[in-house]
């Protein structure tokens, strides 16, 4: 087929298809709007996170008994409840509880919890427990929220420690 014949055949087909096509009305009215301003740069304040120091003898100087929480990135909560009689209750996010006794390290500033065949070590400071990577890890060093368990029950404010054994 030559070029002219092809065009003669295709032209009516194209017109037929165009006539059957969907038509949409266009609203050509202009709407006036207020001028949009570019937002200014916003500088958020820096929030200082407190990581209390671990004292030399936390066993005698810190009100350690109480409940501590650790929230993970999925907002799931682990809790550890420490009692002055040396017992603990560890509650996993799914509600599973592990109970037992904890021991104090030789420095009296860390506790050791035997759980699920592992020994978990925590440095004890005022209103926080810092999970240590191992039993003999240094007490000082970098702190992060991923390893900091924060007290979830209020610390006694009367200053009384007379309920401690031996006092």
The CATH number covering residue 108 comes to: 2.40.128.640
pLDDT, averaged in runs of 10, over the chain (167 residues): 57 58 66 71 82 92 96 93 96 95 95 91 96 90 90 65 41
pLDDT for the residue numbered 85: 96
- Reading the block at residue 22, the tokens are 């969907």
Quick check: is 64 in a domain? yes
Quick check: is 101 in a domain? yes
Quick check: is 10 in a domain? no
Q: Please identify which residue in the block is written with the tokens 């401690």.
A: 164
Q: Please identify which residue in the block is written with the tokens 């005022």.
A: 126
Interior/surface letters 120-148, b for 16+ CB within 10 angstroms, e for the rest: bbbbbbbbbbbbbeeeeeebeeebeeeeb
pLDDT for the residue numbered 116: 82
| Domain region containing 104 | 58-151
DSSP state of 120: E
Quick check: is 105 in a domain? yes
pLDDT for the residue numbered 65: 95
pLDDT for the residue numbered 45: 83
The C-alpha angle 99, 167, 111, rounded to 5 degrees, equals 35
Quick check: is 81 in a domain? yes
pLDDT for the residue numbered 115: 86
Quick check: is 130 in a domain? yes
pLDDT for the residue numbered 40: 76
pLDDT for the residue numbered 156: 57
pLDDT for the residue numbered 160: 46
Quick check: is 12 in a domain? no
pTM, 2 dp: 0.65
Q: Please identify which residue in the block is written with the tokens 């409940």.
A: 67
Quick check: is 4 in a domain? no
pLDDT for the residue numbered 159: 47
C-alpha to C-alpha distance for 89 and 101, rounded to whole angstroms: 9
Domain count of the chain?
A: 1
pLDDT for the residue numbered 46: 82
pLDDT for the residue numbered 155: 60
């Amino acid at each position: 087929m030559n070029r002219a014949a092809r065009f003669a055949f295709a032209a009516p087909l194209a017109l037929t298809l165009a006539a059957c096509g969907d038509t949409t009305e266009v609203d050509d009215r202009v709407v006036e709007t207020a001028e949009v301003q570019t937002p200014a740069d916003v500088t958020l304040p820096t929030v200082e996170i407190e990581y209390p120091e671990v004292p030399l003898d936390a066993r005698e100087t810190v009100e350690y008994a109480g409940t501590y929480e650790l929230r993970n990135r999925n907002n799931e909560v682990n809790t550890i409840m420490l009692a002055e009689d040396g017992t603990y209750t560890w509650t996993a996010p799914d509600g599973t509880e592990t109970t037992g006794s904890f021991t104090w390290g030789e420095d009296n500033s860390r506790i050791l919890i035997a759980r699920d065949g592992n020994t978990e070590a925590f440095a004890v400071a005022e209103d926080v427990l810092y999970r240590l990577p191992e039993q003999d890890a240094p007490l000082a060093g970098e702190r992060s929220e991923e390893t900091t368990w924060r007290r979830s029950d209020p610390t006694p404010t009367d200053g009384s420690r007379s309920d401690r054994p031996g006092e």
